[in-house]
Amino acid sequence: MIIGIGTDLANIERIAATLERFGDRFRNRVFTETEQRKAERRRDVAGTYAKRWAAKEACSKALGTGLRMGIAWKDMSVRNLHTGQPVMEVTGWAKQRLDDLTPPGHEAIIHVTLTDDHPWAQATVLIEARPK
């Protein structure tokens, strides 16, 4: 069963300007070390960050809270499987919220998809509760 869905659209140029203006202060506040390593290796650094920004926003919406109620940016993290498929990992209050949403006898599966078409980056997150 679906227990949450969220989507977000981010402007890559806005993220590029924020990176230019705030640099590491912005990176370290919003993105995990894994996300930063991935983005900094890419040709489109700002686009990679923008997709992850959108994924965090979408995940917070799928959790039913938005970025409030104690969820921190770094409580949600995107990494890629060896196939390139993005996966969302949650920790801290985001994990607690996910556990609270998940019915007994079920496990939560977070699906995430990312795309971009300059100047836009988009992410959709769907949270599924699957019987154990």
- Residue 67: the pLDDT is 74
Q: Does residue 29 contact residue 67 with C-beta atoms inside 8 Å? A: no
Q: Does residue 102 contact residue 108 with C-beta atoms inside 8 Å? A: yes
All domains of the chain in start order, with CATH: 2-131 (3.90.470.20)
- Residue 65: the pLDDT is 86
- Residues in the chain where the model's pLDDT stays below 50: none
Residue with tokens 């700002």, as numbered in its chain: 46
Q: Structure pTM?
A: 0.94
- Residue 71: the pLDDT is 82
- Residue 66: the pLDDT is 76
pLDDT tens digit sequence for 35-70: 999 999 999 999 999 999 999 999 999 999 877 767
